Structure 1
Amino acid sequence: MKKILTLALLACLAMGANAQEKKESANKNKPVFTTIKECKITSIKDQSRSGTCWDYSTLSFFESEILRKTGKSVDLCEAFVANKTYMDRAITAVRMHGDVSFSQGGSAEDPLYCLKNYGICPEDAMPAPGSLYGDSLNNFNEFFAVMTPYVEAVAKSNMKKLSPAWKKGLQAILDTYLGKCPESFKYEGKTYTPRTFADSFGLDWNDYVSITSYTHHPFYKPFAVEVQDNWRWGMSYNVPVEDINRIIDNAINNGYSVMWGGDVSEQGFTRQGLAVAIDTKAVQSLAGSDAAKWLKLTQSQKTNLLDSLGVNTPEVKLTQEMRQEAFDNWETTDDHGMHLFGLAKDQNGKEYYMIKNSWGEHGDYKGIWYMTKTFSAYKVMDFMVNKNAIPKDIRKKLGI
């Protein structure tokens, strides 16, 4: 009987394996990636139900910078950065009488500002995400439902003079949902303050710069990218579109990673782990469908068609004008930050950037995305990099 059961089990496993093999071989266009170059990264995290991609991606970027500099792996605390940042953002909103946005979002400038001005602590020096309100991961729904009306009530009040009490009340909300930022803590047998801990990595926080590419400002000069989550008005150096991937390639090839912020709401950014700047007109032609037929397809039908094309999905030919138009007409939106850490190629030899996301081990590549160079240059709004990773001729033009 045992033998029969064993044989039956083996047969089922074989059938399952064959079915899976047939399913995978059914799409010969499915990408097969080979790594060309990658920087060391720390473990995949999950921001869960919180708008803190800017926090997770930028701290992941700095964790890789610490690895590059010291060889040590450290888990930096996103809650510490969020606690400090939301207080700063609330103060700005109140100063502006509510005429700037107060929201969960942010930019790479926020963790950098925190590291420069407040320091940082390790992950385990504060309560685990969600633990203070009975969750296993971040869930900011109730948190911001409580905090946003509080900030707006102060910012838009008609009082002639504010007392300092509102800041104490807000700090209590922040500490209740995120945990109190420690004044000191022990790490690997030593006692640190947030300031001395940040200084212990040996990084120069002034080495980190933001890069963008738009024509409504002069090239090779800095300006503040006009998006709501750049509420600190952090400056980005403006370069021509062809310099974007030159800088990123030079960084990766020299062991530096990049904090990438941009638009992932495009159809070409799949939830399975691929990002392609789709040329929709060319896809219609390949599908034997004119525009009218394409528009009649359901979203699911379009997705299936695009997925079937895989590595052979045609991409747009990017120009500076296309980047600018997409920014000005709101097609390119500031909606997600990720950590770009490597370079890979598919079976056709096409190159992609390797991206560490903050959605847990999601998708076909367990939390890693593969983004074409065209998608990156088209949809990046700005990116942070160590200035020493920028090609010398570009650095000279930027004056850094």
Structure 2
Amino acid sequence: MKKILLSIFVFCFTINAFAQDYKFKTTVDLEATPVISQGRTGTCWSFSASSFLESEIIRLTGKQIDISEMFNVRNTYPKKAWNYVMRQGKAQFSEGGLAHDVINAVKAHGLVPNSAYSGLQTLQTNHNHAEMVAVLKAMLNVYIKNPGKKLSTNWKPAIENVLDVYLGKRPESFQFEGKTYTPQSFLEMTKINPDEYVTITSFTHQPYYESFILNIPDNFSNGSFYNVPLDELVAVTKNALQTGYTVELDCDVSEATFSSKYAVATIPEKAVNSRKDFSAEIRKEKTITADYRQQEFENYTTTDDHLMHITGLATDQNGNTYFRVKNSWGSNTDRVPNDGHVQMSEAFFRLKTISVMVHKDALPKALRLKLGF
């Protein structure tokens, strides 16, 4: 009996001796604005893409500017409404969107700082769009039913008015650092050129080095994606970060192994079925191939559900590389050791990334030639 107990003790000690928690060292840390919260909204697409543009403004001008996420949201909803009505309700109308929706809004309407348009009403301190979206969708469904038997164009200003009530009227001009700007002149000051940004993805059901419209629910605006092999998607992202460009990320965070609690996202070889079973312990990860990635996308295991902002690279104590990802769920240093950031392993990135957005100049020269830039 003593020998059995001793054997069990030795086995447990050995397991614990080899078990290690992640310890990260940041190797690339590009300038970015502080982590903030998207509140009770589904507008991660605007928060992440706005954060991405804020880093671009720092890169281009040296200025750190808190741009308005809600200005981009406000300018996108009418387009969502148009798509929903013209498709007679046979489309998605929700809070979701993609990074190129922010770029489209910026190109059409310019940029404003958060000080000029917060999207919050008097006494509000956090964003909550549940009621607004419910009201908008209910109104649109009435228009789609067409009770007057001939749909008028009155629905458009009605939707605009609702957006003004909930988010506020858009400023035609505003003051910033002692100067008067319009949204377009402010955009010019930031040196952001919306035409300089491209979205890259990797799927086997489309030809490589060509663009296509990715059929995912939030792509209501039918944005195009450039398709590259999976290894090149990883290489594009690393090249951008290593040459001074941050990266916009669209991915799936529904996995139990995406943990804001431990600030890490991995794909362990042995499946973890619930978040309560996940810990900061280093585990061997799966090898992710293009075929496995495609399978998980087609069977709905990988979905388009969250957008974030990659601002750097890190390594663990074993020399493995991770992407340092800025989230928009706020920060809590007592619970989240990296102040609202997550270290994402290459395996997680390879499997769960839907797409990345980068400045064209961040692409390796050989890839730019293949894509025709």
The TM-score, its normalising length taken from structure 2, stands at 0.91
Cα separation, 2, equivalents of 1:219 and 1:29: 40
Q: Secondary structure at the match of 2:80?
A: helix
Indicate if the aligned counterparts of 2:31 and 2:311 stay in contact, CA closer than 8 A.
Answer: yes
Indicate if the aligned counterparts of 2:198 and 2:359 stay in contact, CA closer than 8 A.
Answer: yes
The residue number in structure 1 matching 2:357 is 384
Residue 32 (structure 1) aligned with residue 20 (structure 2): no
The residue number in structure 2 matching 1:278 is 268
Which residue of the other structure, out of 166, 170, 173, is the alignment partner of 2:159?
170
CA apart distance, 1:201:
1.5
Residue 370 (structure 1) aligned with residue 359 (structure 2): no
In the comparison of the two structures, how many residue pairs are matched?
354
Q: Secondary structure at the match of 1:307?
A: coil
Indicate if the aligned counterparts of 2:237 and 2:247 stay in contact, CA closer than 8 A.
Answer: yes
Which residue of the other structure, out of 178, 195, 200, is the alignment partner of 1:211?
200
1:341 maps to a residue whose letter is T
Residue 347 (structure 1) aligned with residue 312 (structure 2): no
Tell me which moved more, 134-143 or 264-273.
134-143
Cα separation, 2, equivalents of 1:387 and 1:349: 30
The residue number in structure 1 matching 2:279 is 307
Q: Secondary structure at the match of 2:357?
A: strand
Q: Superposition pairs for residues 302-341 of structure 1, below 5 Å?
A: 303-304=276-277, 306-307=278-279, 310=281, 312-341=282-311
The residue number in structure 1 matching 2:124 is 135
Cα separation, 1, equivalents of 2:18 and 2:107: 49
The residue number in structure 1 matching 2:3 is none
Q: Secondary structure at the match of 2:164?
A: helix
The residue number in structure 2 matching 1:231 is 220
Identity between Structure 1 and Structure 2 (%): 39
CA apart distance, 1:348:
1.4
Q: Secondary structure at the match of 2:115?
A: helix
The residue number in structure 1 matching 2:367 is 394
The residue number in structure 1 matching 2:95 is 104
Cα separation, 1, equivalents of 2:79 and 2:254: 28
Q: Secondary structure at the match of 1:181?
A: coil
| Bigger proportion of residues as helix | 1
The residue number in structure 2 matching 1:15 is none
Cα separation, 2, equivalents of 1:171 and 1:33: 47
Which residue of the other structure, out of 72, 84, 94, is the alignment partner of 1:81?
72
Residue 50 (structure 1) aligned with residue 41 (structure 2): yes
Cα separation, 2, equivalents of 1:101 and 1:330: 17
The residue number in structure 2 matching 1:21 is none
Structure 1 spans left out of the alignment, 5+ residues: 1-24, 284-294
The residue number in structure 1 matching 2:58 is 67
The residue number in structure 1 matching 2:9 is none
The root-mean-square deviation of aligned C-alpha atoms, in Å, is 1.8
Cα separation, 2, equivalents of 1:331 and 1:39: 32
1:75 maps to a residue whose letter is D
Residues 154-178 of structure 1: per-residue CA shift (max 9 Å, x gap): 1343544322321111111111111
CA apart distance, 1:398:
1.1
Cα separation, 1, equivalents of 2:161 and 2:193: 33
1:236 maps to a residue whose letter is F
Cα separation, 1, equivalents of 2:196 and 2:168: 30
1:274 maps to a residue whose letter is V
Residue 360 (structure 1) aligned with residue 330 (structure 2): yes
Q: Superposition pairs for residues 232-311 of structure 1, below 5 Å?
A: 232-272=221-261, 273-280=263-270, 299=274, 303-304=276-277, 306-307=278-279, 310=281
Indicate if the aligned counterparts of 2:71 and 2:119 stay in contact, CA closer than 8 A.
Answer: no
Tell me which moved more, 148-157 or 30-39.
148-157
Cα separation, 1, equivalents of 2:346 and 2:320: 9
Cα separation, 2, equivalents of 1:150 and 1:42: 37
Indicate if the aligned counterparts of 1:260 and 1:338 stay in contact, CA closer than 8 A.
Answer: yes
Cα separation, 2, equivalents of 1:227 and 1:159: 33
Cα separation, 1, equivalents of 2:309 and 2:113: 19
CA apart distance, 1:261:
0.3
CA apart distance, 1:39:
1.1
Indicate if the aligned counterparts of 2:260 and 2:340 stay in contact, CA closer than 8 A.
Answer: no
2:93 maps to a residue whose letter is F
Which residue of the other structure, out of 158, 168, 171, is the alignment partner of 1:182?
171
